[in-house]
Structures are given as structure tokens and as C-alpha cells.
Amino acid sequence: MRARIAVLPGDGIGPEVIAEAVKVLKRVAQTYEHEFTFQEALVGGAAIDAVGDPLPAETLQLCRESDAVLFGAVGGPRWGDPRAAARPEQGILSLRQGLGLFANLRPVKVHPDLLTASPLKPDILAGVDLVVVRELTGGIYFGQPRVEGSERAVDTMVYTRAEVERIAHVAFRLARGRRHKVTSVDKANVLACSRLWRHTVDQVARNYPDVELEHLLVDAAAMHLLRRPRDFDVIVTGNMFGDILTDEASMLAGSMGLLPSASLRGDTFGLYEPIHGSAPDIAAPRSPQLWGDRGAIANPLAAILSAAMLLRYSLRLEAEATAVEGAVAAVLSQGYRTRDIAEEGKQQVGTREMGDLIELEIGN
């Protein structure tokens, strides 16, 4: 198979972790006799510094001409002024909107060897395997912000029936291939948008009589994610609620450095990124102070697992995706850990070393 992959490393630890994901994809191509080409482009703060725009037209065009996008992270204190006309976060928001990426899939699966990496008790975590389906191009993040002098600011949340229908269908179809349960999360006791959300999800559910549907208010969902996470299969929710709940859910796995994501639009095209941010405090220029002479310390597993999702959803290479996930599991089972999930008695490694270990497992 031939595939063209746009690579947008971004800021902070983005370039470090994406380099390992690309390395693993190159190993997959070599092992399974595919031809993958990679082309890098600017996004986020790096793009602001270079051309004054967090999403240059050339970057968006490259993404449109590619089969998939591998994305790192954007942001950092040097671009932290919220009043600035150009901010790094505008890059990823504009990408989602410009590419029509309305469905964000964030799987959370707790590896048996990492049950002690989470602050939760192991007996609560054992067997956790869920997916959050987050609506990505609507809601309050794409509303109409308004600042009224220095004393008042307004943000608007808007959802249409069509937007809710299409994300609900994604969730129900996904559940049919899993454990046949969808949990829809909203705030229908307060928000008009959420009442429309709940009614629309109920209507869509009629098309999937084999899938169980439950509704939860977002505050209750936040509690139950920590209290009974094994009960969840597929969670579908709006943009802001999904953003918050998936960061919370990362603690089930033990670290944000472990969780991948896929942003899809209904065909095979997708953008794949780790859910973590740019983590500028541990990015490469500072890493020697923390790690001596061994280089970067960021966990590349979320980026590598995002590459596995790219293989599965955009390239339809299930065996190859499973091989990458198996390699990650094998390396963790062998006792290798990055700094964020370090445990006593385990071998601590850096970003590049972890990528090397996983690369070597591919095809073994």
C-alpha cells in the first residue's frame, strides 16, 4: 500500500514524541512492505514564529492532499498571552474545522502491568476498556465570544440537530463492534443545548435496538468515571465536556502520556494525536537538566498508539495497527517505563529509547 502522511510536530514535546511515532510507522512499512511518505509542516507556536500564522495555508493544503495527519501538540508560555491576535491553539481548532473533523475518538484501556501507575485502586481499574466519542467542531469552542469592556465576557454554545445526529451515529456504530452500550453525557437539567442533545440521541438510538443507551449528567459522569470505570463502553458527549472528561480519564491509565486519539470526518481521512499537551517544562531543550545526558524524557506511547489508530482508521491496516499495539504492550510487560510512569524495580528509559524498543518489537 502507498500512503502520504502529513506530519505536524508542533511545539514543546510534540517534535520529540512524533519523531518516535514516525519511526515506528517506517518500521511497519518496511516489515509489511508498504510505501509511506512523510512530509512535515508548521503548526501552532512554531508557525507563529516562522510566518505569523498558527495554521499557514500551506499546512492546511498539505493535510488536504494527504491520506492522514500525524499531529504533535501546540502551545507554550512564550505564546501564552490570551489577548494575542494569533495563538497556537487556533492552529488545531482551525485544522479541525477546515478538515471537517467532527468526531474525536479517545480510547482508554488500562494495561495490566500499569494498574499501580494510577492513583486509583487496582481493583477499580482492572478490565477498564472504554472509548470517549467527543463532538469536535461544535459547541462552546466554536461559539461567538464577546468581551464587553473589562467587566463582562460572553461565550455562546450552539448545537444543531444534524451535528448531534452524526456524532451519535458514530458512537452507536462503534458500540456495535464492542460491548453494545452507549453512555450519552450532557447537562440537560440546565442547558438548552443539552436538552436538544439528549432528545436527538434518543431518536438516533431507535436505529440501534441492539445497543443499550444510558444518559448521565456530566457531573455524575465525572464521578462515575472514577467510581465505576469498568461499567463504561462508549461515551458520547459534546466538545467541552469531552475535553474535560478525557483528561480525567487519562488518570485511569496512569498518565496522559499513554492515551492516543483519532479525529475523523466520516470517510477514511483522519488526524491522529496524543491527548497530552506540549509540556514545555520537559521539552528537549530543558531535558538535560532533568535527565542528564540521555536526552528527552517525554512519554512517546500516546503518539505511537495514535499512529496505530492511523493505521486502523485511515489506512485500514488492522493487522499492522494490532502489531503496533502489541509491541507497546510487550515493552511495558518487559518492565520498561518512561519518567511519568516510573515504578520501583522497573527500567526507566527516555523518549528515544522507548521508541527504539517498540520499533524492535514490530515484526518479532
* Residue 247 annotated among the catalytic residues of the structure: yes
* Residue 243 annotated among the catalytic residues of the structure: yes
Let me know the angle formed at the C-alpha of 184 by 181 and 186, rounded to the nearest 5 degrees. 165
CB burial of 224-258 (b: ≥16 within 10 Å; e: otherwise) equals ebeeebeebbbbbbbbbbbbebbeebbbbbbbbbb
**Residue 9 CB neighbour total at 10 angstroms:** 26
Give CA–CA dist 144/70, Å, rounded. 29
Task: Give me the catalytic one of 11, 141, 208, 233.
Answer: 141
Give CA–CA dist 121/251, Å, rounded. 11
Say how many CA atoms lie within 13 Å of 12 toward its Cβ: 23
Nearest to 133 by CA among 90, 102, 179, 97: 102
Task: Give me the catalytic one of 247, 336, 346, 356.
Answer: 247
> Collapsing DSSP states into helix, strand and coil, what is residue 298?
coil
**SS3 readout for 75-134:** CCHHHCCCCCCCCCHHHHHHHHHHHCCCEEEEEEECCHHHCCCCCCCHHHHCCCEEEEEE
Give CA–CA dist 74/213, Å, rounded. 36
Let me know the angle formed at the C-alpha of 340 by 337 and 341, rounded to the nearest 5 degrees. 45
Task: Give me the catalytic one of 11, 233, 243, 340.
Answer: 243
Q: Is the Cβ–Cβ distance between 67 and 29 less than 8 Å?
A: no
**Residue 318 CB neighbour total at 10 angstroms:** 11
Task: Give me the catalytic one of 49, 202, 219, 281.
Answer: 219
Give CA–CA dist 127/113, Å, rounded. 12
Q: Is the Cβ–Cβ distance between 171 and 200 less than 8 Å?
A: no
Sign of CA dihedral 175, 179, 181, 187: negative
Q: Would you please indicate which residues are annotated as catalytic (active-site) residues?
A: 141, 187, 219, 243, 247
